[in-house]
Amino acid sequence: MEKLAGYVEHIIYRNTDNGYTVLNLVSGEEEITCVGNFSAIAEGENIEASGEYTDHPTYGRQFKVDAFEEKAPEDEEAIERYLGSGAIKGVGLALAARIVRRFKEDTFRIIEEEPERLAEIKGISERKAMEIADQVNEKRDLRQVMIFLQQYGITMNLAVKVYQAYGQEVYGIIKENPYRLADDIEGVGFRTADEIAARVGIRMDSDFRIRSGILYVLLQASGEGHTYLPEGELTARTKQLLEVDEGQIEKQYMDLAIERKIIMKQSGDGQTQIYAASFYYMEANTATMLKQLNVNYDVPDIEIEQRIRNIEKQTGMELDEHQVTAVKEAVRNGLLIITGGPGTGKTTTINTIIKYFELEGMDIFLAAPTGRAAKRMSETTGFEARTVHRMLELNGGMDGKAGFERNEQNPLETDVVIVDEMSMVDITLMHSLLKAVAVGTRLILVGDVNQLPSVGPGSVLRDIIQSHECNVVMLTKIFRQASTSDIIVNAHKINHGEEVTLDNKSMDFFFLKRYDADVIINVMLQLVKQKLPKFVDATPYDIQILTPMRKGLLGVERLNGILQQYMNPPSQQKREKEHGDAIFREGDKIMQTRNNYQLEWEIRTKFGLSVDKGTGVFNGDMGIIREINDFAETMTVEFDEGRMVEYPYKLLDELELAYAITIHKSQGSEYPAVVIPLLSGPAMLMNRNLLYTAVTRARKCVTLVGNETTFAQMVQNTSQQKRYSGLCDRLRES
């Protein structure tokens, strides 16, 4: 083991998460490249490092550091270099030289013990003297905290957040109740806190641990779509997680309820529902706001009918009785829900409602949960439709949390709001939307209740309909033009559990019987690359493979690896970036996998001039990789409507290849053609709901490839994961 002493001249690279650093160390006359994990090191600092020399094939001779310790600068030159390195804000080279000229080797002692003396120097006020001392002390304290926290496996990035939150209190908190970190600090979950607690020696049955475990289980449940858990299920899940007795868990519920961390509600069947407090208040407030919007307008029947007839004459549209009812209800009520499957005339109804209100001189806003759904709404109505996030004027928020400019203090300035694809809206987004809709504004919610539920928690559309507390119009009649489409006819058959004919005499619904995964993949490649583009007049990139699963022989992960090789093979002209198990290549089709409210996008002309800017890229947004820049460590992606987004490499976790996507991720989207591979899979997943959603994503052609028995089983399988959501109960209570 060799030792090196010197000062850090330049930090070449640093990974802020794990502290891996490449730096230049000046030792005597020599300049040495050092690599290793350094906690919070800055340029100008003196260190003593131990390790060994290695030869890197690209970068040559390096010193690999195993351990290091900071050395206080001892001579005047070293002290001056540290102070003037930029580590202390407001102290440059000239001022550092004046400080050291005055106090010589005593400089650091003066700063720590008698900081007011710094004001003796020209250019330093008493206030500035204190600021310099605070910074020097804070850096020392931060470094000590870093070293302390690293022994508990906390990354550097997280350690900085912990120090900012607690300062010097951190030592007591870690030793007494590290579970506080899970409550107070973004990025520290229960599992991290539990690992720290185990290292500190906190008991398995500690009250702190059990309470934190209960809240963690509720958080996990929200990721599965639940807004609450029944008491018995919460206890069982917490017991499995913590390995403690049920009695020890149950006795914590009351304390958590007193602290308002959880809310306990009795349901009609005598079951106790336990909510994380935030979700309870969201549901309760959503129910109250829906009721408040539900005002009545006294408009004579005859007047509405006359106007509808005039609109029918103007547009050549003909409404059935359900559609006429929907228009009447929209005129008479502040809140209306319109639901129905494909081909039942939802679009015609919306268009008539828009026309009606337009003739009344009203302002109308149209919105949908995703960019693709909004684009589709714009195409079918001829009106501009935006995402709900954009309509509410999303701001990224400094801490990465979404906030909306439009809320109860600053509501939407319009007379009518129409939201499509409501099955995708979760309780969080619904709550934000309602806060921005002032009483007196008409709110019309449109969706297909038989689609898959939202990815986020809650079953908003289903709960509102089931409560019978709001005005709902159900469109059931399949229109003549729609009844010629086997996609629509078969979608309704699937929804009603009826047998679907698979004889391939159709013009838009095909079933290719294949029973081997690799054969199915070959068939899909031929369809996407050769046969379907001509058939539906689209590019191969517009045709979407939808699969039920992520894992397995026909799961998203395996399919994307294979499809990429054929759809966008490696080439000298295309740059690549390896990330985790995936390779991203220029020209690849990709998808954003989580909401990122801070990512900036820009729409440019072909000459590169910016015409529109905004923030926010959302779960399910699809795009093409246009450029990979290894020098800047960025990847540029073009999303719908020409929105260009620059991703730094550290955000690539948010992207995945999208030649194949799960059916869940396709919600709210429509494609010219879809291809669906079907072999066996878990019964909970392979259900009617899933199949119905997949089939209704296609505009011109559906091709299923696989086992007809699996198809028939899915049509009959009505089991789907039970969602615990209480909006229906809250509506009935309010």
For the ranges 91-95, 588-592, 685-689, which has the lowest average pLDDT? 91-95
Cα–Cα distance for residue pair 81/46, rounded to 1 Å: 10
Looking at residues 230-254, what average pLDDT do you find?
Answer: 93
CB contact at 8 A, 392 and 402: no
What is the average pLDDT across 561-582? 91
**Which one has a higher pLDDT value, 322 or 372?**
322
Nearest to 699 by CA among 723, 673, 675: 673
Closest CA to 727 of 413, 463, 409: 463
**Is the pLDDT reported for residue 468 higher than 90?**
yes
Q: Distance (Å, rounded) from C-alpha 141 to C-alpha 679?
A: 59
Q: What is the mean pLDDT of residues 132-149?
A: 74
DSSP character at residue 85 = I
- pLDDT value of position 373: 85
CA–CA separation, 11 and 20 (whole Å): 11
Closest CA to 659 of 488, 538, 528, 533: 528
Q: Which stretch of DSSP H or E encloses residue 342?
A: none
Q: Above 70 in pLDDT, residue 264?
A: yes
Beta strand 544-547 with 660-662: parallel, antiparallel or unpaired? parallel
Instruction: Tell whether the model's pLDDT for residue 596 goes beyond 80.
Output: yes
The predicted pLDDT at position 37 comes to 80
> How confident is residue 147, by pLDDT bands cut at 50, 70 and 90?
low
User: How far is residue 356's CA from residue 322's CA, in Å, rounded to a whole number?
Assistant: 16
Residue 481: what pLDDT?
66
Mean pLDDT, all residues of the chain: 88
Which residues have a Cβ under 8 Å from the Cβ of 484 and sit 6 or more positions away? Answer: none
Up-side HSE of residue 520: CA atoms within 13 Å toward CB?
A: 25
Q: What is the DSSP string of 459-526?
A: -HHHHHHHHT-S-EEEE-PPPHHHHT-HHHHHHHHHHHT-----SS--SSEEEEE---HHHHHHHHHH
pLDDT-derived band at 470, boundaries 50, 70, 90: very high
Q: What is the pLDDT at residue 700?
A: 92
| Beta bridge partners of residue 627, listed in sequence order | 636
SS3 577: strand
Nearest 10 degrees: Cα torsion 165, 166, 170, 175: -90
Of residues 179 and 309, more confidently modeled: 309
pLDDT at residue 17 tops 70: no
At 401, the pLDDT band (50, 70, 90 cuts) reads low
Cβ atoms 41, 21 nearer than 8 A = yes
Q: How far apart are CA 352 and CA 120, in angstroms?
A: 79
Task: Round to whole Å and give the CA distance between 425 and 423.
Answer: 6
pLDDT > 70 in the chain, percent: 95
How many CA atoms, within 13 angstroms, populate the side-chain half-sphere of residue 226? 19
CB 666 within 8 A of CB 545: no
Ranking 23-32, 64-73, 207-216 by mean pLDDT, the lowest is: 64-73
The 3-class secondary structure across 54-75, one letter per residue, is EEECCCEEEEEEEEEEEECCCC
Q: Is 623 left (phi over 0), alpha (psi -120 to 50) or beta?
A: beta
- Residues 608-638: tens digit of each pLDDT: 788 888 888 887 888 999 999 988 889 999 9
pLDDT tens column, 516-540:
999 999 999 999 999 999 999 999 9
Contact 224, 721 (CB under 8 A): yes
Q: Is the pLDDT of residue 399 over 60?
A: no
What is the residue whose two structure tokens read 């696989």?
A: 706
Answer whether 0.85 is exceeded by the pTM. Answer: no
| Average pLDDT estimate for 53-58 | 84
pLDDT in tens, 498-510: 999 888 888 899 9
Q: For the segment 170-209, what is each residue's pLDDT rounded down to a tens digit?
A: 888 887 788 888 777 776 778 888 888 888 788 888 888 8
Question: Taking the mean position of all CA atoms in its chain, how far away is CA 358?
Answer: 36
Q: Any idea which of 168-177, 218-227, 698-707 has the lowest mean pLDDT?
A: 168-177
Burial of 725 (0-12, 13-18, 19+ CB in 10 A): buried
* pLDDT classification of 16: cutoffs 50, 70, 90: low
The pairing of strands 582-585 and 622-629 is: unpaired
> Of 596, 588, 592, which Cα lies nearest the Cα of 627?
588
Q: How confident is the model at residue 400 (pLDDT cuts 50, 70, 90)?
A: very low
Q: Helix 190-200 crosses helix 207-223 at what angle (to 10 degrees)?
A: 160
pLDDT classification of 398: cutoffs 50, 70, 90: very low
Identify which of 657, 647, 538 has the alpha carbon closest to the alpha carbon of residue 587.
Answer: 657
